A and B are shown apart, each in its own frame.
Chain A
Amino acid sequence: MGKTSKDKRDIYYRKAKEEGWRARSAFKLLQIDTECHIFDGVSKAVDLCAAPGSWSQVLARKLNENYKKALETGNASPPKIVAVDLQAMAPLEGVIQLQGDITNTNTAQQIIAHFDNTQADLVVCDGAPDVTGLHDMDIFIQSQLLLAALNITTHILRPGGTFVAKIFRAKDVSFLYAQLRIFFPYVYCTKPSSSRNSSIEAFVVCKDYSPPEGYKPHMLNPLLTHEPCNFEELTGVNRIIVPFVVCGDLNQPDSDMCYPLNLDGKKYKYHEPVQTPIAPPYAEALSLLENRRAGSSFTFDHETEFNETDINIAIENGASSMAEFKKNALITATENNSEDSDAIAKTESIKDENKEEEATIAALQNLYVSEEAGNIDNILI
């Protein structure tokens, strides 16, 4: 795989790098806006689960456009954008960053405080769980994330405001629609054309926030889980069907299509990613692996247990230091006892020779390194 292969496979990935977006998902929000006009009149917005920050980038740009337009006609207050995430995020101009948990009331209060105790016009959430590969579990966790986002939204969104969030269109999706319809009279399921055809990801656009009369938002009562769920009810006539809208017209590129590198007569230029991911969970495992690769070759010595030599990289917690460990991993030695292939007689003149076959351990470690490193789909690496 060359470094251009992802550019060929994914036009939006390439475009995101060219246009300076932190992730291709920026186009999704832009395309949702062209269809659903979610930014109209918005000056205060919240981005939940914001990292790596591409939606905050879009908010910053769009809200500034709104502000400039408003200034032409009269007075306007400058836009305010609050981005919330559990993880740290590289700073963005015009975006207030909050590191916090969206299931916590304090977070809601902090957000409102940033808006001088007024509420937001728009709440967006592009959060997705760490995908486990177990579809049913991933779908459940995503639904919990959406409900957590909805829950905090009920604290921070002004009546009449808009909520946009990622949703997985799968088995229990009607159930989620039903939950959203309690708070929003208008719920659409949208799919931007920058989202792949094969992906189960879609976005709900919920407009005109109108909580039920007497509804008091509080964090202790997540909506979904403590309510009995009757599945039959949801599959019958009472099932809530929400309109499905595709966003992005035919002028937009097709995310399923492979494009040549030279597009529209322009000569291709490779762009480095705008923002590399910050501390993925497997970072430590990867760096250990690289250390092992760096140590060029190893000896096999049966005096030592085989697990101590190479196969295992174990950290004796509290015992040896990391530096010591790395040093050990880099010990190199040559090996001279494996012999060349076949037990075949050679003519008298040719003496049997012991060819040295250098065996590198690194390749052994590479055996099962699969494409996990490439798993972080939406983040530009």
Chain B
Amino acid sequence: MISKLSRTNVLAIRCLDDLVLVGMGPTLHVFQWSNECERYELRNKLNCLYLSNIHGIVAGPDNKLVVFGAKSICVCDIINLREAIILKKQCTDQLNDWIIAVEWISIEGQMQLAILFAHNYLCLYNTFDKTSQNVHCEEKCILYGGSISGTSQENLVVFSGTVFKEILIWKIDNNYDINERMPVLHRLIGHKGVIFSVNYDSCSQLICSTSDDRSVRFWKVVKNENLESYHLNWQTAKIVLVKTMFVHAARVWKAIIKDDIVVTIGEDSLMCTWSLSGNLLNKVHHGAPIWSIDISKDSRRIFTGGADGSVYMWQTTHHINPKIISLSSNDTHSNPKFISYLRNDTLLIFTESGMLFCYDKEKILRRRFSPSSKTQRNYYIMQVSPSRFFVAFASREGYVTIYQVSQDDHFVTGFVSHVIEERIMESQIFSLHWLEHANSTSLIACGANGLLKIFTLIIHVDIAKIRIDAQFVLPPSRERWLTATIIYKQLLICGDRAGNVYVYKWNEQTNKDKKEPIQILNKVHGKIGVQSFNIWEEKLMTTGRDGMLRFYELNKDETKPLLMLHRKKMPIDWISGMLKSVDGHCTPFIFGFKEVEFIIYNLSTESIVIRVPCGGGHRSWDCIMSGATTSFIYIQNKQIYVFNYPLSSALFPILQNGFHIKETYCLQHISKIGFLKQDNIFISGGEDCTLRVSCIRESFEDDSHDAFHNLGNFDGHLSGIKCISTIKLKKTDDSISKYLVFSGGGRAQLKIWEIRIKNKDWIPISHSISSSDLSCLDIKSHMLYGQDQYRRKPWQESEQSYIIEPETRYMDIRIHYSSKNPNHVLVFIACADGYLRLFIYNITTNDICLKVSTKHVDRCILKMYILSHKSKVIILTMTTDGILRFFNFTKTVLKIHKDANIGNQDIVDFSDEPFAEFRLHQSGINSFDLKHMDEDRYLLATGGDDNLLNLVCFQLCISENDALSAVTLSKWSTASAHSAQITGLKFKDDDQICSVGIDQEVIVHSYSWSHGVISANKLNQVFTSVTDVQGMDLWPSVV
């Protein structure tokens, strides 16, 4: 058994020329920049520290690397050939103490290792002959962090960050015998918590420390002037605390000092960039707690590793001062109203008085004129085309005038040339938008009474023409004009100011009829208009001012062509739109405002890339990402602010995508798809409140790596997801498979999702399933005590009024679904308040209704199973008292189905005693699996909190009067297989069973059943680097 793929904490990361070395679990992963793919690609991996996780990687001379973690170190060679990266392991050594830091040093011309241990002593370690020399510090205490600076034994300085909130600086003092305890030279006091890291930068002579107290502290090393010397004398130097910064909202793990910046990372997922004087330059969000960081040699790229297994690349940022443009102050009417960039960096400013100012690249005013020079043309709306080649103005009298980027000379910016002016509307034009479709340049104008006119600009040699293509009508509403529009797969989709979305049939033929919408979606983002429409991964996406992205796709239904899919919460309140990078990766960037900041968010990494404190949502602003620069402009106090960031959208930021940010509680394999069934689709839920659909692609070549893809992650749970259960729906359409997913967890919340996966069995093996092949509908959310917004009533707020019911957790979900009742799904839920609850879900009406709520004993139910034995429905419950109970639900299930067919929603009483009880464990049953042996005999495996693994063979009997009973035939158990809780158990083919526990052991046992006796023995065992295993699933490999 070996680990094929993992996603766990990335605790170490190191840049080495064009390579990025990543330590995840015990395995070293090597990524290399590929010019061809314009991204970093995984080239090789090596299991360096089996049994321990990699905590650090240190590069030495001659392609040598030392990889360390816990009490192990591994020395390996890394050989970068053009066609391959070769990793050669030299040795893996077990040491006697926890390793805090390692450095390569030269001792008598030989490269050796200086190792700092958690008990605050140093070891000079010879990797060739394994000899070592320990040097102790006089202070004996536990270290959480520390570093070693220096290149030889003489100039070696140790920075120890202690559990007692101090930083100790000490070195090997030649005046002492090597076996004596070395004195502490400096004791830096100030932190209020455990020190997690201390770093010293010899160029800036700065020490940066990070701590549990959430602060970052800078300490300056000051040479003693009287003892002038080139080398710093640590004995006589003075160290002063220069700055303490509180920005991180949780523990600060690490800091890195590089040239003129310091970058800190923490548990709060923030990466903060500081100047050496301690000013915050940028604060970005990784999406998951960040464990590791490194900066490339050229200081341009930062790499971070997260708790979710993700590895991202960032661009270093520095402080940017905005450029401010003020319009000439002698003109009192020159309040800027609209601003926008054109494609050649021309900046357009359109004022309230109808004046247009054209600025060039250097922000010098080149031209100033009024498009409304003629009478009866009062232009007041400006819109730039998506290509940024054209700019259109609309007037109160129904006129439209269009200008384009000056074509005379491409290098001269700051000019526009007139294309056409025409009256297209009888009334005032209320709004004007550009439409992108089939290479034509079209606009949509909205007039009085909701009249929409689509017209195309046709330029033939030197003659420009406007052709009216089609007319539509917006239904009446409070504010009857457009806020955004798009053409999506033969549909024209419009959003009005009142927040409604209208869907019209669209065809290319010119048609003069005024068409009505065929589908209306009300207030999709609340009562404020949709801010933008975008197409992402073949799905339609709307953005709004409710902080949500909403997704849609085409439905087969003619009357409702647009199907609303899931929604996604953004860390942005007012989401204005999206921009895709122009490289091959089409990285999606979301723009918007959150309180006083403008935010650019990378949707694929789910991280905030940039924040600009601009003061809040602006009437007019623009943002372009071109080449290596991102520009953001906005109007404030009648002035135009221009920010230019050295941020390229074309640098693909993902080296490796991550999995759940916090604990993964449940995981279920649902399907194998692809030509060779090589793509394994699974669903998982976790403490981060998200449901994930992922794919593991098995590789067929010996040497290559199984690949992990994230197909989608869906939020909507208010608390962690503890359990999921799925059913596959009957196929109505050969091109897609549909699944119903039931997820439950904290706050007694149940959610029902419909997952649709496109059938890709015919496609070549070289193509993998991608997120565009998956769609997810968030179809139902149910909370036991009602949704939050209905729960707290003002009149309940009186003194001493508490909601008495417990906030129960849903611990396990099981589905009873049979072809006899294809419309109804029975959902059994095991709850932490000791209740077993049974819901009925109607697929057609999308109604869910509680039918049974029963408690047998005051113990939390951890696991549950539905055993359909002959015509009987038997519920097995496993609780924290270690008892397995059998309940006969046959009659209740029949009654519920009968009720459902006549529409009776009453609660069904169930208070039957269990017909059998097996006392299997001293405490909680954490895992189980059940297997049908023959006729009425079953094999059950249970694993408990008490380290005990049980194998029980039992028989179910139905007596003549239809009563059920269960009898244990044989039982086998072991308490010595695992030394901690057993959290996963699965039966495997060939009479084998797999178990996994918190002791990180995965064990395969083989069992046999002979002469009525069950017994088992250990076959194989392997360690997993997952420290807090929550469960296990098995699926057959196709290789």
Chain A positions near chain B (C-beta within 8 angstroms): 2, 4-5, 8-9, 86, 103, 129-130, 132-137, 139-141, 144, 169-171, 173-174, 191, 193, 197, 200, 222, 225-231, 239, 241, 244-246, 250, 253-254, 256-262, 268, 270, 279, 281-285, 288-289, 298, 300, 302, 305-318, 335, 337-345, 352, 357, 359-361, 363-364, 367-370, 372
B126 within 8 A of A: no
Chain B residues, CB < 8 A from A341: 528, 545, 574, 617, 619
Q: Once the chains are docked, how many angstroms separate the CA of A169 from the CA of B998?
A: 8
Chain B residues, CB < 8 A from A282: 192-193, 212-214
CB of A147, distance to nearest CB on chain B (Å): 11
Across the interface, B141 reaches (CB within 8 A) one of A103, A227, A302, namely: A103
Pick 24 A–B contacts, CB within 8 A, sort by A. Answer: A9-B807, A132-B144, A132-B251, A134-B11, A134-B291, A144-B118, A193-B880, A197-B862, A222-B119, A229-B71, A230-B94, A246-B946, A256-B832, A257-B858, A260-B804, A279-B192, A288-B246, A311-B280, A311-B613, A314-B278, A315-B246, A317-B241, A345-B431, A367-B249
CB of B582, distance to nearest CB on chain A (Å): 26
CB of A339, distance to nearest CB on chain B (Å): 4
Across the interface, B268 reaches (CB within 8 A) one of A134, A316, A368, namely: A368
CB of A155, distance to nearest CB on chain B (Å): 16
6 closest pairs, A vs B, by CB? A281-B193, A338-B616, A135-B1027, A258-B806, A256-B860, A285-B214
CB of B621, distance to nearest CB on chain A (Å): 10
Q: Once the chains are docked, how many angstroms separate the CA of A200 from the CA of B946?
A: 11
Chain A, Cβ-Cβ closest to B1000: A171
- Known: A173-B980, A302-B324, A305-B319. Is A372-B280 also a contact (CB below 8 A)? no
Chain A residues, CB < 8 A from B213: 281-282, 284-285
What does DSSP make chain A's interface, helix, strand, loop or mixed? loop
Q: Once the chains are docked, how many angstroms separate the CA of A173 from the CA of B165?
A: 28
CB-based contact A170/B980 at 8 Å: yes
Chain B positions near chain A (C-beta within 8 angstroms): 9, 11, 51-53, 69-71, 94, 96-98, 117-119, 140-142, 144, 163-165, 192-194, 196, 211-215, 240-247, 249-251, 267-270, 278-281, 283, 285, 289, 291, 307, 319, 321-322, 324, 337-338, 352, 380-381, 396, 428-431, 479, 481, 483, 497, 528-529, 545, 571, 574, 594-597, 613-620, 636-637, 641, 800, 802-809, 831-834, 858-860, 862, 880-882, 922-924, 926, 945-948, 975-976, 979-981, 998-1000, 1023, 1027-1028
CB-based contact A257/B211 at 8 Å: no
Chain B, Cβ-Cβ closest to A3: B802
List 13 additional contacts besides A133-B307, A241-B975; criterion CB under 8 Å: A132-B251, A225-B117, A226-B96, A229-B71, A259-B806, A307-B319, A314-B246, A339-B617, A342-B497, A343-B619, A359-B615, A364-B597, A372-B250
CB-based contact A367/B212 at 8 Å: no
Chain B residues, CB < 8 A from A367: 249, 571, 594
CB-based contact A281/B53 at 8 Å: no
Q: Once the chains are docked, how many angstroms separate the CA of A283 from the CA of B191?
A: 11
- Known: A170-B998, A258-B806. Is A317-B244 also a contact (CB below 8 A)? yes
CB of A299, distance to nearest CB on chain B (Å): 8
Chain A residues, CB < 8 A from B431: 344-345
Chain A, Cβ-Cβ closest to B636: A337
Across the interface, A200 reaches (CB within 8 A) one of B71, B97, B947, B998, namely: B998
CB-based contact B483/A307 at 8 Å: no
Q: Once the chains are docked, how many angstroms separate the CA of A126 from the CA of B869?
A: 48
CB-based contact A281/B211 at 8 Å: yes
Chain A residues, CB < 8 A from B998: 169-170, 200
CB-based contact B619/A315 at 8 Å: no
Chain B residues, CB < 8 A from A171: 51, 980, 999-1000, 1023, 1027
Chain A residues, CB < 8 A from B322: 302
Chain A, Cβ-Cβ closest to B806: A258
- Known: A300-B596, A317-B241. Is A285-B215 also a contact (CB below 8 A)? yes
Chain A residues, CB < 8 A from B69: 136
CB-based contact A344/B481 at 8 Å: yes
Chain A residues, CB < 8 A from B615: 300, 335, 337-338, 359
Most buried by B among A135, A222, A285, A318: A285
Chain B residues, CB < 8 A from A314: 243-246, 278-280
- Known: A244-B975, A254-B880, A261-B802. Is A338-B618 also a contact (CB below 8 A)? yes
Q: Once the chains are docked, how many angstroms separate the CA of A368 from the CA of B9?
A: 20
Q: Once the chains are docked, how many angstroms separate the CA of A310 from the CA of B71?
A: 43
Q: Once the chains are docked, how many angstroms separate the CA of A268 from the CA of B803?
A: 11
Chain B residues, CB < 8 A from A352: 352
Q: Once the chains are docked, how many angstroms separate the CA of A206 from the CA of B789?
A: 53
Chain B, Cβ-Cβ closest to A302: B322
CB-based contact B923/A338 at 8 Å: no
CB-based contact A300/B268 at 8 Å: no
Chain A, Cβ-Cβ closest to B573: A363
Chain A, Cβ-Cβ closest to B800: A270
CB-based contact B980/A315 at 8 Å: no
Chain A residues, CB < 8 A from B428: 345
CB-based contact A311/B247 at 8 Å: yes
Q: Once the chains are docked, how many angstroms separate the CA of A174 from the CA of B1000?
A: 13
CB of B661, distance to nearest CB on chain A (Å): 11
Chain A residues, CB < 8 A from B430: 344-345
CB-based contact A339/B980 at 8 Å: no
Q: Once the chains are docked, how many angstroms separate the CA of A45 from the CA of B1004?
A: 45
Chain A, Cβ-Cβ closest to B165: A281
Chain B, Cβ-Cβ closest to A317: B241
Q: Once the chains are docked, how many angstroms separate the CA of A135 from the CA of B862?
A: 24
Chain B, Cβ-Cβ closest to A249: B881
CB-based contact B596/A359 at 8 Å: yes
Chain B, Cβ-Cβ closest to A6: B807
Across the interface, B529 reaches (CB within 8 A) one of A300, A310, A342, namely: A342
- Known: A136-B70, A281-B212, A360-B595. Is A169-B1027 also a contact (CB below 8 A)? no
CB-based contact A312/B247 at 8 Å: yes
Q: Once the chains are docked, how many angstroms separate the CA of A141 from the CA of B145?
A: 12
CB-based contact B244/A130 at 8 Å: no
CB-based contact B249/A370 at 8 Å: yes
Q: Once the chains are docked, how many angstroms separate the CA of A370 from the CA of B249?
A: 7
- Known: A244-B922, A282-B214, A302-B324. Is A231-B805 also a contact (CB below 8 A)? no
CB-based contact A268/B251 at 8 Å: no
CB-based contact A359/B862 at 8 Å: no
Chain B residues, CB < 8 A from A225: 96-97, 117, 119
CB-based contact B1027/A136 at 8 Å: yes
CB-based contact A343/B280 at 8 Å: no
